[in-house]
Amino acid sequence: MVLKTSFTLLALIISGQALSQENKSEPNQTQQKSKEQDIERIIVTGSRIAENIDEVPASITIITQKQIAAQLKVSSEIQSLLANLVPGMAPSTGSSSNSGQTLRGRSPLVMIDGVPQSTPLRNGSLGIRTLDASVIERIEVIKGATSIYGNGAAGGIINYITKKANSDKALSGHASISSRFSAVETEDSIGQRYEAGINGEINNFDYVLNASYEENGLQRDADGDILGLKYGLSDAVMQDYFAKVGYHFDDEKSLQFTYNYYESKQDVDLIDQVGNINTGEKTQAIPVPEGQTVLGEPQGPSNHNMMLKYVDDEVFKQTQLMVDLYSQEVDNTFFYSPVLANPDAGYAGGQSLINSDKKGLRVTFNTLVDFSFDNGDSLEATFIYGIDALNDVTSQSMVDGRVWVPEMDMENLAGFLQTKLIYNNDLVIKLGIRQEDIDLTVNDYSTLKLCKSAEQCSVPVDVTGDTLNYKATTYNIGIKYNALPLFSPFVSYSQGADISDTGRLLRTATVTDISLIRTEASIIDNYELGFSSDFEQVHFEFATYFSTSELGTTNKFNATTGVYMPVRAPQEIYGYEALINYNINDAWAVNATYSWVEGKNTEADVYLGAKQISPPKATVNVNWNPNSDISVAINYLYVGDRKRFEQVDGKFVGDQGPIDSYQVVNLSGNYNFASDWSAFIGVENLFNQDYYPTKSQGYTYGGYNIKGLGTTVNMGVNYQF
């Protein structure tokens, strides 16, 4: 028996930041490119430790810092970045909300360095925009239900891995300034963005400091009209402040503290002229008419994240210890809505606010043992085990003081074991189990009386609170065979335990005891089959999947009260994805993807709406780098039709609007005009396509039918030292 460690993978990631800065003074570009490709093959999200992507029997997308930098030349919006680069990710909503932007038809769990950012107890669908893209080193997307990180990962995981310090300098940094404006109608559309950061390593200390500040102008469609304000980004101010400080006690032990604050607020002196998807009239923003005023406070999210991480690579023989202590505070302020009215109590409308306060602890052990046999065979066994503890306190109140969703206090303790066996470097077998124990406490509360009109009001109900307990054991197993580069297949089965959006169930309760509300956890079973193929210059991936859930949640309109009521029923979702990367030569590279997904409520045998299921999506990304100073990228997005529903009483309802196809082309370029200076330009919607995004077509709710952004130009300069 021969024992060895594989923690050099983790060291490779930690030392990789210098490569990701695209240092033009690197003498051996071929060697640098090889190292960068090796780093891109490492992932930390799937099993909570560093491992090669070839050892993961699942569909994975890794977005590199180079890809992030290219997308930032067009827009700082992470939603668009994910839609353009991740197969299975629904198209961007074109707004601050990611409602409807699912991953394979289910909600993903969004994380920063493994710390949950989503608010699954009352999912406000604002989790994707939780930090500025400039502080992200890479994004790891794991698709399919998983319980490896706990509640909320019904569709998979999106993990933002933040930047690390360079290891070869005490001080290095960068600064960027840019301006963004509508090329259709420039009036009041000009915005600006400032971003800068420093990082370095001094003795045993390393640090990263970064700040960004962005002010949008008015966002205009292909006709030059101002986009509607519901979850809008016109005149929005985004700011992000990031700090990471690390100390290495020795070669094996380190401590790292990370803090990030992000805020996005839309404060605009406009009101919506609400259209109607059934009549084809778009919703757009207009100046406030005389005699009217803007109601409500600025809408948008803000959040604080603090993380403390301790690593001991050899806490005992062949075993690594990682301890993560984290805290997150979220405040998501939504738009003012007249539907949240109660005339009898003096409320002409309302504006809601989700508050979520999370505190968590993760303890992870990683033990690796290698066996060598007399016949030359080898077996590498990895055991990942530990505990997760989380306290999540979430509520949704009105800005005026009314309580819409009572405070939900969740205590979650989970133990897990993941095993990975690699036989002769070719056959990978993964097995895992996780035991969840969740207590959810809700005190006595009363549902709100809300009136859509004078004749349509919900009936308030006094509900007796309780502590609900959920216990769930989930399993996963996966097999991957890597002996043949031309055909490397995998098959997997994974489960996830999900109690997401309990708050939506509580606020629409029609019974007098919380125990009678259908708040049961849903177990998602995910089956996946796929393969990858590598030729000399071509990489190809294909995967097909099928997932079921005993209690999915959809909505049904109650014509008496004017409220959309949750419907809990079994669901099945299925689809397939394909990806191809073709490195034509040193100057040209092409990436193309295609995704198709469908889903049904199996109890009623009806299709699921746009809140979960997106139409077919295809993307093509072409990159041209004729030399080290010039780069040009073209991004093409095609969204297909999806028309599964009939009209009800002459109109489409809920999230069942018909979706027509559309296509958008983006262009970006970069030129290094001096040793430390570069200029860039990006054009979003190059051909000024006049279209409604998927969500704007599928959602028939008032004020959601907002057109997509018209041709918008972004240009600026970067300085790096």
Please report which confidence band the pLDDT of residue 580 belongs to, taking 50, 70 and 90 as the band edges: very high
Q: Given CA atoms 505, 506, 510, 514 in this order, what sign does their dihedral have? A: positive
Q: What is the pLDDT of residues 290-333, one digit of tens each?
A: 888 999 999 999 999 999 999 999 999 899 999 999 999 999 99
Please report which confidence band the pLDDT of residue 565 belongs to, taking 50, 70 and 90 as the band edges: low
* pLDDT value of residue 101: 94
Structural domains of the chain in order of their starting residue, each with its CATH number: 8-158+171-189+196-276+294-720 (2.40.170.20)
Find the range with the poorest average confidence among 19-28, 431-440, 603-612, 679-688: 19-28
* pLDDT value of residue 558: 66
337 secondary structure, DSSP code: E
Closest alpha carbon to 525 in 561, 476, 457: 476
* pLDDT value of residue 564: 63
Structure token pair of residue 37:
């490709």
Closest alpha carbon to 216 in 384, 371, 96: 96
Phi, psi at 55, each rounded to 5°: -100, 10
Question: Is the per-residue pLDDT at 181 higher than 90?
Answer: yes
Q: What is the pLDDT of residues 345-402, one digit of tens each?
A: 999 999 999 999 999 999 999 999 999 888 889 999 999 999 999 999 999 999 999 9
Phi, psi at 509, each rounded to 5°: -60, 140
- d(Cα 428, Cα 186) in Å, to the nearest integer? 56
Question: Is the per-residue pLDDT at 586 higher than 90?
Answer: yes
Phi, psi at 204, each rounded to 5°: -90, 0
Average pLDDT, the chain: 90
**Three-class SS of residue 464?**
strand
Find the range with the poorest average confidence among 16-20, 191-195, 379-383, 526-530: 16-20
Question: Is the per-residue pLDDT at 340 higher than 50?
Answer: yes
Please report which confidence band the pLDDT of residue 553 belongs to, taking 50, 70 and 90 as the band edges: low
Structure token pair of residue 676:
């430390």
- d(Cα 10, Cα 312) in Å, to the nearest integer? 12
* pLDDT value of residue 27: 42
Mean pLDDT across the stretch 558-576? 78
pLDDT, greater one: 12 or 58: 58
Question: Is the per-residue pLDDT at 8 higher than 60?
Answer: no
* pLDDT value of residue 146: 86
Mean pLDDT across the stretch 137-141? 94
Question: Is the per-residue pLDDT at 205 higher than 90?
Answer: yes
- d(Cα 662, Cα 92) in Å, to the nearest integer? 13
Give, in degrees to the nearest 5, the angle at Cα 148 between 145 and 152. 55
* pLDDT value of residue 561: 62
Structure token pair of residue 116:
């949950």
Mean pLDDT across the stretch 191-213? 96
Find the range with the poorest average confidence among 21-30, 44-53, 250-259: 21-30
- d(Cα 99, Cα 92) in Å, to the nearest integer? 10
Q: What is the pLDDT of residues 516-551, one digit of tens each?
A: 887 888 889 999 999 999 998 999 999 999 999 987
Question: Is the per-residue pLDDT at 11 higher than 60?
Answer: no
Find the range with the poorest average confidence among 240-249, 289-298, 619-628: 289-298
* pLDDT value of residue 36: 56
Burial class of residue 526, CB neighbours in 10 A (0-12, 13-18, 19+): buried
* pLDDT value of residue 18: 34
* pLDDT value of residue 349: 94
Share of the chain above pLDDT 90, in %: 77
Question: Is the per-residue pLDDT at 498 higher than 70?
Answer: yes
- Decide if 412 contacts 468 (C-beta within 8 A): no
276 secondary structure, DSSP code: B
pLDDT, greater one: 163 or 151: 163
* Segment holding 305, helix H or strand E: strand 300-316
pLDDT, greater one: 172 or 520: 172
Closest alpha carbon to 721 in 24, 16, 14: 24
Q: Given CA atoms 52, 54, 57, 62 in this order, what sign does their dihedral have? A: positive
- d(Cα 453, Cα 582) in Å, to the nearest integer? 57
Burial class of residue 366, CB neighbours in 10 A (0-12, 13-18, 19+): buried
Question: Is the per-residue pLDDT at 6 higher than 60?
Answer: no
Residues near 639 by beta carbon (within 8 Å), at least 6 away in sequence: 91, 614, 615, 616, 617, 659, 661, 662, 663, 694
Q: What is the pLDDT of residues 623-656, one digit of tens each?
A: 999 999 999 999 999 999 999 999 999 999 999 9
* pLDDT value of residue 7: 33
**β-pair type (156-162, 109-112):** parallel
Question: Is the per-residue pLDDT at 91 higher than 80?
Answer: yes
